[in-house]
Amino acid sequence: MNKLSIGDIVSRAWDLSVKHWPVFILLSIVEAVLGSFINGNPAAFAALGPNPDPQEVVEALNASFNPLMMLVVILGTTYLNIIVYRMLVSVLRTGQPYADGQLADALKVNLVKYGFFLGVNIVMGLAVGFASLLCIIPGIFLSVRWWFTPLIAATEDVTFGEAFGLSWEMTKGHFWELFLLGIVCVGIAIVGFCACCVGIIFAEVIINFIVVLAYEQLSRDAETEVTKF
């Protein structure tokens, strides 16, 4: 079993991000703008004084909550996540995010695939969230073992159970390496946020490449193990 080279993965993620940043930065900006609309009534918070009463904060939250807008944001970001995952994998496998002159085709998502990806993320989110409520450690454990589940659901032709099962099998024996890689990703996000908050967009691109690079390495290792038998 080959160990993940965290330094090599981060270095390659940086190089790929620098080389292919335009399209991924654009997608990240669109996602960030879309996410900004989730707060339906910012004026409700702006009206709060410097030391608001807890009841006033609750009322502001209720006034700002817009279920329809939240649904639009969730559906929109789900679509963008599928596109990003597919383009990231395409970069590693073909050297470019999409075929020459075929950006329109790259943006097409099958409705069945969309529903499948959304369902996988909902189930994963509920399971990890419930495990975290019981104790933070099970939540972290599931997050690491299912780290590649959304990526697999977006880019591979698998069933619902296989999306979770493949990630579980691939991460077997690599928990601590992936946990450390996750900490590195958090550090990159913090650095990006500190860079006038704008850097978080480029940091997101790097982190996405890190996830895909780790997935590709573990996939190759799994295929090598199979061919031995």
Amino acid (1-letter code) at residue 130: F
Low-confidence ranges of the chain (pLDDT < 70): 1, 37-66, 101, 197, 222-229
Tell me the pLDDT tens digit for each residue of 138-188: 999 999 999 999 999 999 999 999 999 999 999 999 999 999 999 999 999
Distance, CA of 107 to CA of 83 (rounded, Å): 6
Give the model confidence (pLDDT) of 39-54 as tens digits.
555 555 455 556 666 6
Bridge partners (DSSP) listed for residue 39: 65
In this prediction the pTM is 0.85
What's the per-residue H, E or C state across the chain?
A: CCCCCHHHHHHHHHHHHHHHHHHHHHHHHHHHHHHHCCECCCHHHHCCCCCCCHHHHHHHHHHHECHHHHHHHHHHHHHHHHHHHHHHHHHHHHCCCCCCCCHHHHCCCCHHHHHHHHHHHHHHHHHHHHHHHHCHHHHHHHHHHCCCHHHHHHHCCCCHHHHHHHHHHHCCCCHHHHHHHHHHHHHHHHHHHHCCCCHHHHHHHHHHHHHHHHHHHHHHHHHHHHHCC
pLDDT value at residue 53? 62
pLDDT of residue 33: 84
